[in-house]
Structure 1
């Protein structure tokens, strides 16, 4: 009984990061993988935010040119750091 309860709790805890990631992915209009392992989120208003390869929010300069995983170049627009941080942390708060 206790072992089953422990397994249930551990599997629920393992799912929390997936729900947080879903929040960011569902809010984004487009998600683009970059060459260096980072991810570019394009939101419905056209503004963008960048997630580092380690899963944290990365600063994005207006007009910065980033390279996609398939070799294309994209000039960025905006720096939605707060929005992406909020979406990535959804489900991790108190």
Structure 2
């Protein structure tokens, strides 16, 4: 049973890494966050957040996020639809 759960966890992690490939290419920078997620900063300065499970997560304007190295970043935009589209790219079955 433990082996099956371990394999399932590894598969979910791997699929999350592949899902984010388009998002990684579109972002100017990706900042790891303390909660295990990542903040994507796109070329136009707009921001979006990926949670620790690889899903796009909605942000609130002026929300303060803590980076994995202890710094703080203030949210200036919420591009959840853009990030979700990029994360889902290549997973439509076409």
> What TM-score does the superposition give when structure 2 sets the normalisation length?
0.78
What SS is found at the alignment partner of 1:31? strand
User: Aligned equivalents of 1:47 and 1:89: distance in 2?
Assistant: 19
**Counterparts of 1:24-63 in structure 2 under 5 Å?**
24-63=23-62
**Counterparts of 1:16-31 in structure 2 under 5 Å?**
18-31=17-30
Structure 1 residue runs of 5 or longer lacking an equivalent are 1-14
Instruction: Specify whether residues 56 and 17 from structure 1 end up closer, same or farther in structure 2 by C-alpha distance, changes over 3 A only.
Output: closer
For the 8 Å contact 2:56–2:80, the answer to whether it is kept is yes
Q: How far 1:57 moved relative to its partner?
A: 0.9
Larger radius of gyration: 1
What SS is found at the alignment partner of 1:54? coil
Instruction: Specify whether residues 91 and 16 from structure 1 end up closer, same or farther in structure 2 by C-alpha distance, changes over 3 A only.
Output: farther
Number of residue pairs the alignment of both structures matches? 80
What SS is found at the alignment partner of 1:63? coil
Q: How far 1:49 moved relative to its partner?
A: 0.3
Q: How far 1:44 moved relative to its partner?
A: 0.6
For the 8 Å contact 1:19–1:91, the answer to whether it is kept is no
Instruction: Specify whether residues 90 and 77 from structure 1 end up closer, same or farther in structure 2 by C-alpha distance, changes over 3 A only.
Output: same
Calculate the aligned-residue CA RMSD, in Å: 1.5
Q: How far 1:20 moved relative to its partner?
A: 3.0
User: Aligned equivalents of 1:82 and 1:35: distance in 2?
Assistant: 23
